[in-house]
Amino acid sequence: MASTSDIKNGMCINYNGQPYQIIEFLHVKPGKGAAFVRTKIKNLETGRVLDNTFPAGAKIETIDVENRQYQFLYNDGSDYHFMNTENYEQLTFAKDLINAPDFLVDGMMCFVLFHASEDRAMAVELPRTVNLKVTYSEPTVKGNTSSNAMKTVTVEGGAQVAVPLFIKTDEEIVINTEDGSYKERAK
C-alpha cells in the first residue's frame, strides 16, 4: 500500500477493482480546507481516461508491473500486433491501449506493461522519443519567416507534426511521443 505522497507519473494502481495508470497528478493545498491530489488516470483494460481526486494521505493499492520489450509487427485496421523477439509470442492490442499509436512504424521496439502477479499484458508504451522520416513537407517560401515559424509535415505512419520551416522531405526527425512534439533533427 502506498499513500498519495508516493504518487508519480506512470505509477500503476488498483482503483475500483481495475488496473489504472497515473498519467498526471497535482498536489493541491488550498488556503482553506484539507489538501488533496488531483489526478488523471488511464484504465489499462479499456483505455478510458478519468479525472479523479484523492484526499491527502489516502491509501492507494499499487500494482507491480513489468516492462517487456516487444516489436511492432503491423496494424490490421482495428488491432495492433506485437511480437516478443525472444520467444516469438504474439500479442494483439486495441488502439486505446497504446500511448501514441500514430507514431508506430513496422519493426519498432516498444514496451508492453505486464501485470506481474497475473502475468497478463495490459498496455503498450512507445519509447519517450522516436526517430521518424518526414514523408511529406510543404516547400518553404523565402521571406515567409518570423521568429519560431512552424509548418506541419507528415511522418512515417501518417502522423502530422509541427516542425520548424527548415525541415524538408526525407529528413529524419526526433519526436517526443508523450505530447507529439518535434524535438530535433536526428543525428
State the chain's mean pLDDT as an integer: 88
Same domain for 88 and 139? no
Same domain for 69 and 115? yes
Phi-psi region of 179 (alpha: psi -120 to 50; beta: other; left: phi over 0): alpha
Structural domain total, the chain: 3
Domain boundary pick from 108, 125, 142: 125
Same domain for 41 and 69? no
Give me 95's grid cell. Answer: 488502439
Domain boundary pick from 125, 140, 168: 125
3-class secondary structure, 35: coil
Domain boundary pick from 62, 82, 103: 62
Q: What is the band of 13 on the pLDDT scale with cuts at 50, 70, 90?
A: very high
Question: How many angstroms separate the CA atoms of 39 and 42, rounded?
Answer: 10
CB atoms within 10 A of CB 118: 11
User: What are the residues facing 73 on neighbouring strands?
Assistant: none
Same domain for 50 and 88? no
Q: What is the band of 143 on the pLDDT scale with cuts at 50, 70, 90?
A: low
Q: Is the pLDDT of residue 32 over 90?
A: no
- Domain at 57, CATH number: 2.30.30.30
- Domain at 158, CATH number: 2.40.50.140
Q: Give the domain range for residue 136.
A: 129-185
Task: Estimate to the nearest angstrom the gap between the alpha carbon of 40 and the chain centroid.
Answer: 14
Same domain for 104 and 144? no
Positive or negative, the CA dihedral 154, 155, 158, 164 is: negative
Same domain for 92 and 77? yes
Same domain for 156 and 178? yes
What predicted TM-score, i.e. pTM, was given to this entire model? 0.77
Same domain for 69 and 120? yes
Same domain for 8 and 46? yes
Amino acid making up residue 155: V
Q: What is the band of 146 on the pLDDT scale with cuts at 50, 70, 90?
A: low
Amino acid making up residue 112: V
